[in-house]
Amino acid sequence: MAVRKVMNAMTKPVSMPHNHRQAGCPFRPGRALLELHEDPALHRVPVPNSQLGEVGAVLITRDEDARTVLADARHEVGFAFDPHWTGPRSVMNQPGVLLNYDGDEHIRYRRMQAGAFTMKRIRALSGVIEQIVEKHLDDVEKAGPGVDLVKAFAEPLPLFVICELLGAPLADRAGILERSSIASSVDTTLEVQQDNFAAMIDYMAALVTAHRREPGDNILGDLVRKHGAELSDDELVGMGLDVLVAGHGTLSGMIGLSVLALLSHSEQLAVLRDDKLSGGAIEELLRFLAVAPPLVRKASTDLSVNGQKICAGEYVVVSTLMANHGAALPSPPDELDLRRKPVPHLAFGYGRHQCVGQQLARLELRIALPALFRRFPGLRLAVPFEEIEYRTESLVYGVKRLPVEW
């Protein structure tokens, strides 16, 4: 298999190597990523990791190859939990975190979490999410006629929903936001990450203790009521952290970048405002923007992808951005088309580790984005498009700030 030194733009990435974007266009794959995609050989790229340092990984960019990798149990999640670990806790050594498990243990934990994300519970949350959205839109309107939409809407909205899901007091939201932001950054030291994760564990342990004493009407309370006898406090802490980290950062990134994409494609806004089409519009935004963290796997044995060898022990990183944009679609995949018939995408992963909370994420986006543009039909950028900065140092892609006015 061809192995070559990746160009500077990938070695010192404008964004994470799997998520490299065009200069001046944060919605499409960048030239460095496109060149690797167009080359039939698989290539190794350096992937920054705050826990492991920089690791080399085989980059997967084609949709069919990505699905092959993600569906094959021999491509393990790569962060195998060590039950005998005595060092500082990290996301890779925390019981109950789904990405630490494969096989029967993963199935066991996933079944428990999925039971807390039933469609009945998701539908029941619809009214709550609508109230949270309207409350934040009221706050945005009062602060206007201009705000940073990330700080005023994209960050706090999913945070309030997470607090609802975990039974966390709203007064805790500032601390949760800070810890979540640090956890998703690759531009920090191992010591900072360890200290931050210890604080996250302490906070979640206090919530678990409260729910052990009096289970609330929320996901953490459900886990205690239904599975408390078979789960340790450590495992419940890990499951709670799963919900917190996955449910906030990715949604925040999606909301901010979606608004920027829609403001940059004004002809698409009318489609989003049509409630009958908003579900399909959300699927297209998920496919097109591909903000989610990298999908990392580790080969448990020598494997072959598209006729090329991946050696046992090698990491593999899937570029959902390139896979989504390189798929064979009726209309150009690198164009935003909210009238596009929904097509399969990798925004929530694929296979046995597909995101458990994806229906909740869809619901939040389907409520929040149309409501925002209904309330502020004249919403526009308050700075030139070229001045927008992006979260290139984060596991989740998005905008750092989004100054808007109306």
Q: For the range 107-115, what are the long-range contacts, defined as Cβ-Cβ under 8 Å and sequence gap of 24 or more?
A: 107/352, 109/235, 109/239, 110/352, 110/356, 112/223, 112/226, 112/227, 112/231, 112/239, 113/223, 113/239, 113/242, 113/243, 113/356, 114/356, 115/222, 115/226
Q: What is the pLDDT of residue 44?
A: 93
Q: Pick one of 1.10.630.10, 3.40.50.2300, 3.30.1330.60, 3.30.413.10 as the CATH number of 8-405.
A: 1.10.630.10
- Per-residue pLDDT at 284: 95
List, for the chain, all residue ranges whose pLDDT scores fall below the cut of 70. 1-15, 50-52, 78-85, 275
> What would the pLDDT profile of 207-263 be if each residue is shown by its tens digit?
999 999 999 888 899 999 999 999 999 999 999 998 888 888 899 999 999 999 999
Strands 403-405 and 295-299: unpaired
Return the pLDDT at 5: 35
Reported as a single tens digit per residue, the pLDDT across 144-203 is: 899 999 999 999 999 899 888 888 888 888 888 888 878 777 777 878 888 888 899 999
CA distance 74 to 47: 21
What's the CA gap between 357 and 246, in Å, rounded? 8
Residue 14: predicted pLDDT? 37
| Predicted pLDDT of residue 1 | 36
Residue 294, pLDDT score:
84
User: Of how many residues is the chain composed?
Assistant: 406
Looking at the DSSP assignment, which residues form a beta bridge with residue 46? 56
Q: Could you tell me the pTM of the whole model? A: 0.90
Q: What pLDDT, on the 0 to 100 scale, is given for residue 80?
A: 56
Phi-psi region of 138 (alpha: psi -120 to 50; beta: other; left: phi over 0): alpha
Strands 315-318 and 53-60: parallel
